């Protein structure tokens, strides 16, 4: 009898311990889920009531805010606050606004971009404005970002966690800002912080471009989703069941007429966020029946990184350099060319020389 009672007591203790461990595990799961929703911008459920207001930005500066769809249509509400808002930069109706997505912890990349692009404000009597957009990060203090913004008047700072998984969200907030605060411009160029931009060629292209329903870039067609779970761009069959993506402009840089901002953003409110920003834009462009235009002057760096190939700066609008350091390395050579093409072999030698200097 004693043995039996002792056995029942041991079982009771085991149940108590198991129950306690399960309670701890459930608490950890709940905390992790809340954090994940904040970081990834979870679109499966609506956020708290204070985030359901889609038009949460100030309606001043003659901006035209997006209309709220009915709440049962909203799959993807993203009403984040603009903490820093250089809307005054659009008051003089610039011809082109270049907006560069940037990471909060990359002030050096922004310094490089400012030194390369910001000093050019007018080309062929057409005004150009250069801005950055970013979320917040625990790696950089909010006060430092605010101070940088106020010093340069060129940062759109949004109240969301800036992570790789939030690239699509960052682009949507870019489009929302354009629609709410920069309707006066004609065109937007979204260009990453490791992109060489030939501003005169960009102006020449857009002067004769359509003023509505226009998207141009390095367009990818017939691209299949990556099914390998080892890839950071892995997409499950559940997330995208089709064999191919719709045509999309590669994300390093693309330009569009200002009306596209409202059309894409409004449609995106009812389409779940997709992990790859450029593919997501392509999905929405298909929904609104806009076909992006392929332009060979939007160049991906590997296309010219061979011994026998040539790179001609005067025949390029943008070139993706794969890193701010590479952009810094090549910028002087690329921008100093006077119509002459550079052989791929020369670029390789430039890179080797620069890297040797960096290493030594």
Q: Give the model confidence (pLDDT) of 137-184 as tens digits.
A: 888 899 999 999 999 999 999 999 999 889 999 999 999 999 999 999
Task: Kindly state whether residue 69 falls inside one of the protein's structural domains.
Answer: no
53 within 8 A of 72, measured Cβ to Cβ: no
Q: Is 198 found in the same domain as 322?
A: no
Task: Kindly state whether residue 87 falls inside one of the protein's structural domains.
Answer: yes
| pTM for the predicted model, two decimal places | 0.74
Q: Residue 57 pLDDT > 90, yes or no?
A: no
* pLDDT score for 20: 66
Q: Of 16-20, 151-155, 338-342, where does mean pLDDT reach its minimum?
A: 338-342
Task: Kindly state whether residue 12 falls inside one of the protein's structural domains.
Answer: no
* pLDDT score for 95: 96
Q: Is 198 found in the same domain as 151?
A: yes
Domain boundary among 294, 314, 349: 294
Residue 79 tokens, joined: 């009403």
Q: Is 327 found in the same domain as 182?
A: no
Res. 45 pLDDT band, cuts 50 70 90: very low
Residue 24 tokens, joined: 């701890």
84 within 8 A of 146, measured Cβ to Cβ: yes
Q: Average pLDDT of 226-239?
A: 89
- Mean of the per-residue pLDDT values of the chain: 77
Res. 327 pLDDT band, cuts 50 70 90: confident
Domain boundary among 294, 318, 333: 294
* pLDDT score for 121: 82
Q: Of 58-67, 119-128, 334-343, where does mean pLDDT reach its minimum?
A: 58-67
Q: Is 315 found in the same domain as 253?
A: no
Q: Of 93-102, 106-115, 208-217, 284-293, where does mean pLDDT reach its minimum?
A: 106-115
Q: Is 166 found in the same domain as 233?
A: yes
* pLDDT score for 78: 73
Task: Kindly state whether residue 344 falls inside one of the protein's structural domains.
Answer: yes
Percent of the chain with pLDDT over 90: 47
Q: Is 239 found in the same domain as 125?
A: yes
Residue 266 tokens, joined: 């409004």
Q: Of 25-29, 80-84, 218-222, 326-330, where does mean pLDDT reach its minimum?
A: 25-29
Question: Tens of pLDDT along 251-309?
Answer: 999 999 999 999 999 999 999 888 899 999 999 999 999 999 999 999 886 544 554 55
Cα gap 72→66, rounded to integer Å: 17
Cα gap 169→166, rounded to integer Å: 5
Cα gap 328→333, rounded to integer Å: 10
Q: Average pLDDT of 324-347?
A: 62
Residue with tokens 């008051």: 91
Strand partners, 131: 99
Domain boundary among 261, 277, 294: 294
Q: Residue 67 pLDDT > 70, yes or no?
A: no
Task: Kindly state whether residue 30 falls inside one of the protein's structural domains.
Answer: no
Q: Is 222 found in the same domain as 83?
A: yes
* pLDDT score for 88: 95
Q: Residue 39 pLDDT > 90, yes or no?
A: no
195 within 8 A of 187, measured Cβ to Cβ: no
Write the DSSP symbol of residue 156. Answer: E
Q: Is 305 found in the same domain as 289?
A: no
Q: Of 180-189, 202-211, 293-302, 316-325, where does mean pLDDT reach its minimum?
A: 316-325
Q: Is 290 found in the same domain as 303?
A: no
Question: Tens of pLDDT along 164-173?
Answer: 889 999 999 9
| The total number of structural domains that make up the chain | 2
Whats the size of the chain, residue-wise?
360
132 within 8 A of 170, measured Cβ to Cβ: no
Task: Kindly state whether residue 110 falls inside one of the protein's structural domains.
Answer: yes
Q: H or E stretch including 311?
A: strand 310-311
SS3 73: helix
Q: Is 307 found in the same domain as 177?
A: no
Q: Average pLDDT of 114-123?
A: 80
Res. 16 pLDDT band, cuts 50 70 90: low
Q: Average pLDDT of 36-60?
A: 32
Q: Tell me the CB-side half-sphere exposure of residue 117, using CA atoms within 13 A.
A: 32
Q: Which CATH number is 287's domain given?
A: 3.90.550
Task: Kindly state whether residue 14 falls inside one of the protein's structural domains.
Answer: no
Top mean-pLDDT range of 53-67, 174-188, 218-232, 319-333: 174-188
Q: Residue 14 pLDDT > 50, yes or no?
A: yes
Residue 326's closest CA among 314, 337, 334?
Answer: 334
- Structural domain boundaries, residue 223: 74-294
Task: Kindly state whether residue 20 falls inside one of the protein's structural domains.
Answer: no
Q: Is 319 found in the same domain as 194?
A: no
Res. 112 pLDDT band, cuts 50 70 90: confident
SS3 36: helix
* pLDDT score for 178: 97
Residue 178 tokens, joined: 């354009």
Residue 163's CB: how many other CB atoms inside 10 A? 15
Q: Is 334 found in the same domain as 242?
A: no
* pLDDT score for 263: 96
């Amino acid at each position: 009898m004693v043995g039996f009672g002792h056995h029942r007591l041991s079982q009771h203790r085991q149940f108590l311990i198991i129950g306690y461990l399960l309670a701890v595990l459930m608490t950890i799961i709940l905390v992790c889920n809340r954090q994940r929703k904040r970081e990834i911008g979870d679109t499966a459920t609506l956020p708290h009531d204070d985030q359901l207001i889609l038009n949460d930005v100030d309606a001043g500066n003659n901006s035209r805010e997006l209309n709220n769809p009915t709440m049962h249509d909203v799959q993807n509400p993203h009403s984040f606050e603009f903490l820093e808002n250089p809307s005054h930069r659009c008051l003089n109706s610039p011809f082109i606004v270049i907006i560069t997505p940037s990471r909060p912890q990359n002030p050096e990349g922004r310094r490089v971009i400012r030194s390369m692009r910001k000093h050019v404000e007018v080309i062929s009597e057409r005004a150009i404005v250069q801005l950055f957009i970013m979320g917040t990060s625990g790696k950089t203090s909010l006060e430092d970002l605010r101070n940088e913004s106020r010093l340069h008047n060129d940062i759109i700072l949004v109240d969301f966690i800036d992570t790789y998984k939030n690239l699509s969200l960052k682009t949507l907030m870019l489009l929302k800002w354009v629609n709410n605060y920069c309707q006066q411009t004609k065109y937007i160029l979204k260009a990453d912080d490791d992109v060489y931009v030939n501003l005169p060629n960009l102006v020449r292209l857009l002067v004769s471009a359509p003023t509505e329903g226009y998207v141009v870039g390095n367009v990818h067609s017939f691209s299949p989703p990556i099914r390998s779970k080892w890839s950071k761009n892995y997409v499950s069959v559940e997330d995208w069941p089709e064999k191919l993506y719709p045509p999309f402009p590669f994300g390093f840089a693309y330009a569009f007429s200002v009306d596209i901002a409202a059309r894409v953003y409004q449609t995106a409110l009812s389409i779940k966020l997709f992990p790859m920003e450029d593919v997501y834009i392509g999905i929405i462009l298909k929904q609104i029946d806009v076909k992006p235009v392929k332009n060979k002057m939007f160049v991906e760096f590997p296309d010219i990184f061979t011994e026998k190939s040539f790179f001609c700066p005067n025949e390029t609008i943008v070139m993706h350099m794969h890193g701010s350091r590479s952009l810094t390395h090549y910028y002087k050579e690329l921008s100093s060319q006077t119509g002459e093409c550079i052989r791929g072999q020369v670029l390789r030698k430039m890179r080797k020389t620069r890297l040797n200097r960096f290493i030594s």
